[in-house]
């Protein structure tokens, strides 16, 4: 029954590795997002997809690559992980961006890079 789910919940890995985080929503929404929360709890948007099309691409290192296989899924792949990538990554979804709709967030994935 979880509306927005993410896997894994925790991810501990070493510098230089490549990792992926998966997100799925069962709300029937067309738009999905990735946000990053840093150690000071500051939340900032990274990417957004609408119906599998990338519509928001903030200033994020190109080591981060989102992929949306269908409108219910949005994955985040990170190459060559760095210490500064340690953060909590949240997935969110909403109805289409043609209007301004409420966003619903997943439980977050805590990434620790050692």
Partner 1 sequence: GIQVEQSPPDLILQEGANSTLRCNFSDSVNNLQWFHQNPWGQLINLFYIPSGTKQNGRLSATTVATERYSLLYISSSQTTDSGVYFCAVPISGGYNKLIFGAGTRLAVHP
The answer to whether residue 7 forms part of the interface with partner 1 (CB under 8 A) is no
Among the listed residues 55, 61, 65, 114, the single contact to partner 1 using CB under 8 A: 55
End-to-end CA distance of the chain: 34
Among residues 87, 7, 4, 93, which one has the least CA distance to residue 39?
87
Break the chain down into helix, strand, coil percent, rounded to 5.
Answer: 5, 55, 40
9 neighbors 109 (Cβ within 8 angstroms): yes
The answer to whether residue 19 forms part of the interface with partner 1 (CB under 8 A) is no
The answer to whether residue 110 forms part of the interface with partner 1 (CB under 8 A) is yes
User: Minimum Å distance from CB 100 to partner 1?
Assistant: 5
Residue 18 or 38: the one with the smaller Cβ distance to partner 1 is 38
The answer to whether residue 102 forms part of the interface with partner 1 (CB under 8 A) is yes
81 neighbors 13 (Cβ within 8 angstroms): yes
Catalog residues that contact partner 1 under the rule CB under 8 A: 31, 33, 35, 40-45, 48, 50, 55-56, 88, 90, 94, 97, 100-105, 107-108, 110
């Amino acid at each position: 029954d979880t509306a927005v789910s993410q896997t894994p919940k925790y991810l501990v890995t070493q510098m230089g590795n490549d990792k992926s985080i998966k997100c799925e929503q069962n709300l029937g929404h067309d738009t999905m997002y990735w946000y990053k929360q840093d150690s000071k709890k500051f939340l900032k948007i990274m990417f957004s997809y609408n119906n599998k099309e990338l519509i928001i691409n903030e200033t994020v290192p190109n080591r981060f690559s989102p992929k949306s296989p269908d409108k219910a899924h949005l994955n985040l792949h990170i190459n060559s992980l760095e210490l500064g990538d340690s953060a909590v990554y949240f997935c969110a979804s909403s109805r289409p961006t043609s209007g301004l709709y409420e966003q619903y967030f997943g439980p977050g994935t805590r990434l620790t890079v050692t």
